[in-house]
Amino acid sequence: MKFLALAALLLSLNAHATGGFSCQGLKADGEKVELFGTTGRVPGNPLVSDVMMTVGDIETAQVFPKDQVVGYWSMGKSIKLAIVDSNAEEIILKLSVKTKKDEDTLSGKLTIPGGEKFHVSCILE
């Protein structure tokens, strides 16, 4: 019985096997844009799921399947991401952010579908 109780306790603990990144910025018209991705907690923080972007409210969420991600790089001090369209003909989303000296957040540029570019701030969990 003690074994079952211990096993149940261990299985209920959060393993913290994944983390992620979250980026936020404002378009020229003031509309909020957010980008989210889930990463593994191993060297390189590999992308382990689809990437989601919201513009304005959550009802306008756009999901980019992981197989459209053609470039991803994350080593804690920078994140670079490139996503192609569903036909793999052109890059439709680019993210390039890095930390500045003595800062915890990452900042840089995001290019979204339609070609609009703007500044974003990101956190890597």
65/120 Cα distance (integer angstroms): 22
Q: What is the pTM of this model?
A: 0.79
What's the whole-number mean pLDDT along residues 79-88?
A: 94
In a domain, 3, yes or no: no
Domain total for the chain?
1
Strands, E assignment, 5-116? 18-26, 32-40, 51-55, 62-64, 69-74, 78-84, 91-99, 106-111
pLDDT number for residue 83: 96
In a domain, 10, yes or no: no
pLDDT tens digits for 20-66? 899 999 998 999 999 999 988 777 678 888 999 999 876 778 999 99
In a domain, 29, yes or no: yes
Read off the pLDDT band of 90 (50, 70, 90): very high
In a domain, 72, yes or no: yes
Q: Is 34 exposed, middle or buried (0-12, 13-18, 19+ CB in 10 A)?
A: middle
Read off the pLDDT band of 16 (50, 70, 90): low
In a domain, 9, yes or no: no
In a domain, 11, yes or no: no
In a domain, 8, yes or no: no
Q: Mean pLDDT, the chain, as a whole number?
A: 84
What SS3 class is residue 4? Answer: helix
In a domain, 1, yes or no: no
Q: Domain residues for 36?
A: 16-124
pLDDT number for residue 12: 43
Q: Which residue has the higher pLDDT, 73 or 5?
A: 73
The CATH number linked to 93 is 2.40.128
